[in-house]
Structure 1
């Protein structure tokens, strides 16, 4: 008997083929209708297509302004928007402490899995992509103390070296001779600094972006492409196993971080062999020293592969978010009338001078207006553009409107949307106003403390609960020091104060267009 394609289609000609196609289409529509009508989320509004497929969310994220899309949808539909067949985006700040708690019972969804790696046919997870709370806690426990405020403070001398290099490069390239006062991309140089400082605190040696003044090894460009891939493929997690984690044939995926992996392995070998004494001072421990220390303290659970994983997370996740906040503080500080002027006045009033630069974290953190500027920068453009997703635990959850959502529903909280909630931030939530973080005239100490607590509870800049960003303190110490040091040392102005920069919403917001002019202050 002939089973060729020609014979099969010939048998289905005419009415038979039409009946088969019509039945298939009808079956699909019946399936979609039943799924929609039987869904416990059908009461919640949102785009029609999003109620049937996650392709809507994938497409909107791939366009690069999903945070703005969500803001529009919440204005249209209210605090709960259905963004997928089983996903709700929620603008209820009062639920943050419930969802992002230290118990870890609200588990991460599959959205985060794509940022893992396929090694020798096996998927290897990291602190960010590990969604099992017990495994995450076990991986984090040996090193968590090194990221505490005290642990980070011990690395401040290494940070100071890199800030000095940043200032030296800016002065040499943009403040003298024919180039003095000419516009340049300050945003790029902030990124070069944050990547080099991560190299410094991790290995006691910068990677080299400041000295070369460019992305000399392509790693910064690869990081952007990888974040773009992670941002959309997570909407349908199994696509990552088809495209990137396929053990048979890799279709496509994020660029590999071969350079970073190579740097990490080389430094680990050199440290073991004592071959890096020219750059590494044993009296000033770095993260590599601390990770080796963690291995020695936990030989049964920590090996060299784990150390390399920690090193790579330091390198990959530690630079971009810090650069984002420094850029935002400078850009919005310069663009908003009076902000940068007041910052410089209050730094001077606090007795901070050029001779003290790089300024210490202790002295900068004590300047209230600098603290307000940094916190407002984190609020106005949080370091994460996309929604933080969690599964509703057994027993479901009750919303403030008294509706109940069943377990295994995905609840998503977008930091950008939450940070513009007018019930928390006031009618001027769309304005950049650092003063909102300061004690108002006539406001009692207790009232101010209560208000500040409410604002802080609605802050998801670094996530929250048991999965809060491990590098939070390392990022903040740099933001305070760099912003204050640049303000004290230089006259900075935007090249075109009327021009808006461009923000691309990938996993992290990517800012383009921080063009500035800089001069040494007299």
Structure 2
């Protein structure tokens, strides 16, 4: 035993002596270069064996998802513009990841975003799930399981039909009237400029909470994001858009069972929703008027009618998704509409003339029934949504594994299991559908021209079929009717009441163009019209 020890000690001493003088640099170099060489060989073989290598795109995107992660995290402010420019350079098929293609083929929209349930969402949506009582809970938006999605959608889908949405229009009227009051008292009467982006956000969140549980958050009353909920929600979606590009990162960041690293937690939004639900169930909700049901009451009823499908955790997911989705969708759409109108005086004047010729009281909130039949207003809303959709990222789906793959218009076949999708920002500017002036704001493209009734119908049907603003197929946004009713009412009401203008009309607005197309500045001046 002693001899072995001595031998070991002597040997170790000799090794150390050798390392210090001669071997250490060589071993260090080998230790660094060997893994890099192995990694390079692995990447090279993977690239050559990948059937997607024939499709163009950024060089790094062919090897790793780090390319799109970086662009959604560091360069998120112009991600949608980057994808659009790459499509302009490479064509309708763009490889943005080792197994992901971003397509600009509007004619395939109904194929990929279908109602048959075969084109499943990819893992990019997983990190939008939430943890409740130590368990991962999937929402209507985040779940990839089509069967589960149909189960949790079934109890509440009837509450989002157009008829059901119109039943809660009185809630909207109250919040819109309050919005007008704040604009008048804070800015119009004092002839002060203000950032319309901020105030639309305050209104959208207050309206979403009022429609959901008959109690507004209070951002319009406070005049600012007093509890940072809006800021935290934005950071949460910034996390989602980046981590969704490398989904397994979420297991180490948000879903880490040992220590949660990120993203910022929407504790306040969850707390208010939980407190409102507890008060309603116990009969102590002073804000609720039984003659005017809200969405929380609808969700509670869904538990009573479908006890085998809905529990309190599912109700909480309904509440949170209803607030987050409604606020952002409505807010971004309204901001885009007012920006494009004020940026294009001729369109603004025509819209004003159409609305004001109706003879409505400028002190009243316009009803949806009144606003919906105005043709130019409808054209403005559609064109604004086309130019500036709510979403600016590829909505990914897997090519079904039980077929030959996806046959593209150029004749090539995308193999089963490939992630494919379309970006609403890119598809909305497709020149084969919208014409050579697709990059211009032109509401008249939605109106009848000289082509006759049949030609007009065919043209507008083709353009409408390329609309991906609310998603598509079985996963189309459940609250689209809710968002559009709000938009029609707010735009018609404000244009009927105010003359509005940009403080610096020559300047372009700043927008973060990634998952959500978030505007930053819309410095405006309003006056009550004569």
User: Which category describes the TM-score, using the shorter chain as reference length?
Assistant: over 0.9
1:368 maps to 2:375: yes
Query: Aligned to 1:191, which of 180, 195, 201?
Result: 201
Q: Output the CA distance in 1 between the equivalents of 2:17 and 2:478.
A: 60
Partner of 1:40 in structure 2?
Answer: 51
Q: Deviations over 1:226-264 (max 9, x none)?
A: 1111011110000111111111122x2221111111111
Q: Output the CA distance in 1 between the equivalents of 2:16 and 2:112.
A: 58
Structural mapping, 1:319-358, within 5 Å: 319-355=327-363, 357-358=364-365
Residues 99 and 390, structure 1, Cα contact 8 Å, conserved in 2: yes
SS at 1:131's partner residue? coil
SS at 2:437's partner residue? coil
Deviation at 1:128, TM superposition (A): 1.0
Partner of 2:480 in structure 1?
Answer: 472
Task: Provide closer, same or farther for how the CA distance between residues 13 and 495 of structure 1 changes in structure 2, counting only shifts above 3 A.
Answer: same
Q: Output the CA distance in 1 between the equivalents of 2:282 and 2:99.
A: 53
1:229 maps to 2:239: yes
Deviation at 1:17, TM superposition (A): 4.2
Q: Output the CA distance in 1 between the equivalents of 2:502 and 2:30.
A: 66
Which deviates the most, 396-405 or 263-272? 263-272
Q: Output the CA distance in 2 between the equivalents of 1:329 and 1:449.
A: 24
Deviation at 1:18, TM superposition (A): 3.4
Residues 253 and 263, structure 2, Cα contact 8 Å, conserved in 1: no
Partner of 2:518 in structure 1?
Answer: 510
List structure 1 segments (4+ residues) > 6 angstroms apart after TM superposition: 1-4, 6-9
1:407 maps to 2:420: no
Q: Output the CA distance in 2 between the equivalents of 1:37 and 1:183.
A: 58
Residues 112 and 421, structure 2, Cα contact 8 Å, conserved in 1: no
Deviation at 1:25, TM superposition (A): 2.5
Residues 392 and 409, structure 1, Cα contact 8 Å, conserved in 2: yes
Q: Specify every segment of 5 or more residues in structure 1 that has no aligned partner in the other structure, as ranges.
A: none
Partner of 1:203 in structure 2?
Answer: 213
Partner of 2:140 in structure 1?
Answer: 127
Partner of 1:483 in structure 2?
Answer: 491
Partner of 2:304 in structure 1?
Answer: 296
Query: Aligned to 1:420, which of 426, 429, 434?
Result: 429
Residues 350 and 367, structure 1, Cα contact 8 Å, conserved in 2: no
1:267 maps to 2:276: yes
1:381 maps to 2:394: no
SS at 2:392's partner residue? coil
Structure showing greater Rg: 2
Partner of 2:253 in structure 1?
Answer: 243
Q: Deviations over 1:357-413 (max 9, x none)?
A: 210001101000000000011000100011111111122110000000101101021
Task: Provide closer, same or farther for how the CA distance between residues 259 and 14 of structure 1 changes in structure 2, counting only shifts above 3 A.
Answer: closer
Residues 493 and 516, structure 1, Cα contact 8 Å, conserved in 2: yes
Task: Provide closer, same or farther for how the CA distance between residues 329 and 26 of structure 1 changes in structure 2, counting only shifts above 3 A.
Answer: same
Q: Specify every segment of 5 or more residues in structure 2 that has no aligned partner in the other structure, as ranges.
A: 1-7
Task: Provide closer, same or farther for how the CA distance between residues 23 and 97 of structure 1 changes in structure 2, counting only shifts above 3 A.
Answer: same
Deviation at 1:32, TM superposition (A): 0.9
Q: Deviations over 1:399-452 (max 9, x none)?
A: 000000101101021111101110000000000011111111x23212111111
Q: Deviations over 1:52-100 (max 9, x none)?
A: 0100111112212110001110111010011111111100000000000
Q: Output the CA distance in 2 between the equivalents of 1:9 and 1:145.
A: 79
Q: Deviations over 1:298-328 (max 9, x none)?
A: 1122111211111111112210111111011
Q: Output the CA distance in 1 between the equivalents of 2:17 and 2:126.
A: 42
Deviation at 1:33, TM superposition (A): 1.0
1:218 maps to 2:225: no
Q: Output the CA distance in 1 between the equivalents of 2:328 and 2:315.
A: 21
Structural mapping, 1:171-186, within 5 Å: 171-176=184-189, 179-180=190-191, 182-186=192-196
Query: Aligned to 1:494, which of 478, 502, 518?
Result: 502
Residues 227 and 506, structure 1, Cα contact 8 Å, conserved in 2: no
Partner of 1:84 in structure 2?
Answer: 97
Given the two structures, how large is their TM-score scaled by the length of structure 2? 0.94
SS at 1:325's partner residue? helix
Q: Output the CA distance in 1 between the equivalents of 2:529 and 2:112.
A: 48
Deviation at 1:350, TM superposition (A): 3.4
Deviation at 1:8, TM superposition (A): 13
Q: Output the CA distance in 2 between the equivalents of 1:272 and 1:371.
A: 41
Partner of 1:436 in structure 2?
Answer: 445
Deviation at 1:34, TM superposition (A): 0.7
Q: Output the CA distance in 1 between the equivalents of 2:25 and 2:517.
A: 54
Deviation at 1:9, TM superposition (A): 11
Task: Provide closer, same or farther for how the CA distance between residues 397 and 213 of structure 1 changes in structure 2, counting only shifts above 3 A.
Answer: same
Structural mapping, 1:60-71, within 5 Å: 60-62=71-73, 63-64=75-76, 65-71=78-84
Residues 132 and 313, structure 2, Cα contact 8 Å, conserved in 1: no
Residues 325 and 378, structure 1, Cα contact 8 Å, conserved in 2: yes
Task: Provide closer, same or farther for how the CA distance between residues 189 and 19 of structure 1 changes in structure 2, counting only shifts above 3 A.
Answer: closer
Residues 213 and 288, structure 2, Cα contact 8 Å, conserved in 1: yes
Q: Output the CA distance in 1 between the equivalents of 2:17 and 2:452.
A: 83
Q: Output the CA distance in 2 between the equivalents of 1:142 and 1:239.
A: 33
1:159 maps to 2:200: no
Partner of 2:158 in structure 1?
Answer: 145
SS at 2:250's partner residue? helix
Q: Output the CA distance in 2 between the equivalents of 1:9 and 1:408.
A: 53
SS at 1:319's partner residue? helix
Across the aligned residues of Structure 1 and Structure 2, the Cα RMSD in angstroms comes to 1.8
SS at 2:526's partner residue? strand
Residues 111 and 235, structure 1, Cα contact 8 Å, conserved in 2: yes
SS at 2:360's partner residue? coil
